[in-house]
Structure 1
C-alpha cells in the first residue's frame, strides 16, 4: 500500500484503487505499530476516489525528524575517503565503514524538506553539490519499521571534503532534503533486490544515470534503528535515510535548473528541481 499526505486529507493506494480520508493529524495516522494492519482494518472508513488522482506535493512528514546514515555502501566509503584525503580525514570514513557503530546525523525537519515536484537548494558557497538518493525508513515511536519512502539527501561535498567537522553545514540548510512521494506501507521487509535509480537532467537531457540494489548496503536496517533509538526518543516517529551507493563522478556538480529523479522499486519516483539557496543575512 502507498500512503500519501495531502495536509487535511490522506490518500491510500491499494491494488490499483485510491481511497481518501479526512484527517486531523498525519502524526496520529502514521505513528503506530502495525500500521499496515491498521490501514487494512480501517479501510471501510475511507472513501473511494472517483476522479483522477494527482500525487500531492506535500512531503509525507509532519512533526517527525529526519535522520541520515553515512558510509553504509562501499561506493560511499570510497568517495568520502577521496574527498577528505587532502584534509587528512580520509581514514575516518574507512574506520566508520567497518566499525560496529554507524555514522548517524540529524538531517532536518519538515521545515527544511520538500516533496514531489518541490525545489531543493544547493549552496552558493559550495563548488561541488550532489544529490544522494536513499531508501528511507519510517520508524514508529516504539522503534518499529512501519514503511519506506524515498529520500534526497542534498550534499555540499566540497564543504564536507574540506573538513569532516563541517558535515552539519554540508548537510543541513534550507530545502536540503526531498522526501516522498508516499510512504510504502507493508508488513514484510522491502525485498533485498529493490533497485534505487538516480537520473539527473540538464536542459531535458540526462547527464547522469546510476543505479544500485539495496542488498549492497553493509548494515542491517534494524541495527541502524537500534543505534538511533539508544539515547533518542521520537514521540512522533522518525524518518531515517539509510545511505547512498550512487555517487556521481568527481567532475560532476549540480547546476540551477537541473532536475533530479529518484526511483525506488515498490515506492515510486521522487522528482525535484534545483536552485541556489537564497542568501540569508
Structure 2
C-alpha cells in the first residue's frame, strides 16, 4: 500500500464538470463535496493532509488510464483551480546567464552563441556561489557594472529582491498530456521545467507538482517589458500531473535535493536529455513564498508558485551556433522520481484548444450541481 497523498482534478463526463480526486493503490477516487468542491478549499484547511486521507470517495478510474488519457469517463485537468498562478524567475545561475544573453542579443538567436562565450567567461563561474542580497553580491554588482556587464536579470538573480510575476490566469493551465502553446510570433523558444509549490493564502506550503513555464526567448529578449506577452498565452502554462502533499515522509527539503530531468523528442529525430540538481537553486523556496505573499500582497484562494528553471537548452538544432528552439509536435517530458512525469506535445497557441472554462463558468457549474 502506498503512503503518498495526491490531489488531482478531472473533468468528469458523469457530472459534466470538474471533480477533485485523490489516488489510493492505483485507483482514482472522486472526493468532491460541499465541504470542499475546490482544490483551493482543501488547501485552505488547517490540515489538508488529514482531510484528503479521511475521504472515502467514489472510484472513477485507474490512475494509469487517467495518465495515459485512455480513461473513458474522466479526463485529467491541471491540479489547481482558483489559485493564482505565480512564477519566480532567474533563480538558477545557468538560466540567469541565458537571460543576460537574450537581453544582449535583443532576441536574435544568431548572436546568442558568440555572446554566450563572452558572458559566460565574464560572469558565469563568478556568480555560482553568491548568495542573493549578500554583501558579496553587492560587490559583484559593482564589479560587473564597472565592466558594463550589469543587467536587469542579474539584479533579480543576485540582488535582494526576487523576480515574482504572474504566469497565467486561474484555471487557464493545461494538464499532463495536453498541448503546450507557443505564441505564433516566436521563432526562438524553449521549455522551462520547474517545480511548482502549492501554497495557501496564509503562505503555508501544502505540496508540490511539476510545471512547464514555456519561454519565448526572442520576445522577452527584445524587451523585459514584453514579459507578459512572452509568458501568458493560450496553453503556455502546463502544471501536473498531480499535487503531492507534504507529510512526514515527503518534505520540501527532501524535494529540493532531487534531480529534475528534461527530455525533448522531435519528429525530425532531434533528441535532448538533460538533468539538473534542484539543490543548485540560488534562493530558498521559503523566501520566494515570503516575497510573494504577506502584508504587501494577498491571495485569498492561495497560489501556485513556479520556482524557476535550472535549464536553458542550448544544443544546436540545425545550423551550428543557432542553439535550441522548438519545432511543432516536439514532446517535452519533465520528471523527478518524487512527483512523476509531466509530458506535453508542442503546438502554436492559436492551434491549441481555446481556454473557455474560467471562474464564472466554474461557479455556475458548481451551483448547478448543488455544490455551492
Instruction: Find 2:252's aligned residue among 169, 184, 189.
Output: 189
Compared CA separation, residues 57 and 16, structure 1 to 2 (3 A): closer
Q: Which residue in the other structure is 1:219 paired with?
A: 283
1:178 maps to 2:241: no
Deviations 1:113-151 (A, max 9, x none): 100111111122111011100000000111100010111
Distance 1:9 1:204 in 2: 38
SS of the equivalent of 1:278 reads helix
Instruction: Find 2:167's aligned residue among 103, 107, 111.
Output: 107
SS of the equivalent of 1:148 reads strand
Distance 2:221 2:162 in 1: 19
Instruction: Find 2:41's aligned residue among 28, 31, 34.
Output: 28
SS of the equivalent of 2:31 reads strand
Q: Which has the higher strand share?
A: 1
- Highest CA radius of gyration, 1 or 2? 2
Equivalent pairs, count: 277
Q: Contact 1:34–1:146 (CA<8 Å) still a contact in 2?
A: no
Distance 1:173 1:89 in 2: 31
Q: Which residue in the other structure is 2:364 paired with?
A: none
Compared CA separation, residues 93 and 51, structure 1 to 2 (3 A): closer
Distance 2:212 2:46 in 1: 26
What is the CA RMSD across the aligned residues, in angstroms? 2.3
Name which of structure 1's ranges 16-25 and 60-69 shifts more when overlaid on structure 2: 16-25
Deviations 1:24-56 (A, max 9, x none): 33332233343223323x24x334x48633234
Distance 1:90 1:273 in 2: 36
Instruction: Find 2:79's aligned residue among 60, 76, 90.
Output: 60
Q: Which residue in the other structure is 1:2 paired with?
A: 6
Name which of structure 1's ranges 132-141 and 181-190 shifts more when overlaid on structure 2: 181-190
Q: Contact 1:126–1:156 (CA<8 Å) still a contact in 2?
A: yes
Distance 1:148 1:264 in 2: 11
Distance 1:28 1:214 in 2: 29
By how many angstroms is 1:2 displaced?
Answer: 1.7
SS of the equivalent of 1:167 reads helix
Q: Which residue in the other structure is 1:75 paired with?
A: 94
Q: Contact 1:181–1:270 (CA<8 Å) still a contact in 2?
A: yes
Q: Which residue in the other structure is 2:57 paired with?
A: 46
SS of the equivalent of 2:257 reads coil
TM-score, length-normalised on structure 2?
A: 0.69
Distance 2:308 2:174 in 1: 19
By how many angstroms is 1:90 displaced?
Answer: 6.0
SS of the equivalent of 2:157 reads helix
Deviations 1:131-182 (A, max 9, x none): 1000000001111000101111011100111112211111111111001100
TM-score, length-normalised on structure 1?
A: 0.90
Q: Contact 2:285–2:307 (CA<8 Å) still a contact in 1?
A: yes
Query: Which structure 2 segments of 5+ residues have no match?
Result: 12-17, 68-74, 107-147, 315-321, 355-372
